[in-house]
Amino acid sequence: MGRARPRRRGFELRRITLGDWVVLVSSLLTLVSLFLPWFVTNVQGAHDQWAFTYSEVYSVIVIVIFLATIFLVLYPVAALEFGLSPLPFSSPLLYFLLGIILLLLSVFEVGKYACIQCQGVVGGFGVYVAVFASLTYILGAVIRWGSRPRRRVGLER
């Protein structure tokens, strides 16, 4: 009689750490900030604008980073279930790099239209949410880096 293969229970979401959750939520918040008003005007006949109006490139980069974050968070969980090989790089380092890119782009977008303020246009809520979310993304990367399993050197069996 052959050995019975142990039955898998599905995805183990316990493998997603606090840092992963922080990064995932902050990337979702950055995505939501694209749909909030980025620039508010008090000029007669004009209306508030969102991120897609002012910077399509920024919007596309945020969407790509959001999708990459979902992949980086869920791949280790799915890899165990489907028997895939682990990622050949450290995800906290990539989170940190993506967070820095988001922060630089968001701060650039805050200052990009500063000259418009004299014409009755001020920064809206969405652009500041994007900056806050990118800072939180970096914080999540640092938390994820600290929650990595430690290698024990010299304790080989």
21-24 contact pairs (CB < 8 A, 24+): 21/140, 22/136, 22/137, 22/139, 22/140, 22/143, 22/144, 23/69, 23/73, 23/95, 23/99, 23/137, 23/140, 23/141, 23/144, 24/69, 24/70, 24/73, 24/140
Mean pLDDT, the chain cut into blocks of 10 residues (157 residues total): 58 79 94 85 69 84 94 84 77 91 90 62 80 94 80 58
Query: What is d(CA 139, CA 25) in angstroms, rounded to the nearest whole number?
Result: 12
156 found inside a domain: no
Q: What is the pLDDT of residue 15?
A: 77
pLDDT for position 9: 59
Overall number of domains in the chain: 1
Q: What CATH number corresponds to the domain at position 28?
A: 1.20.140
Domain assignment of residue 26, yes or no: yes
What is the residue range of 67's domain?
Answer: 14-146
* 70: in domain: yes
**Backbone dihedral angles phi then psi of residue 49, each to the nearest 5 degrees:** -120, 155
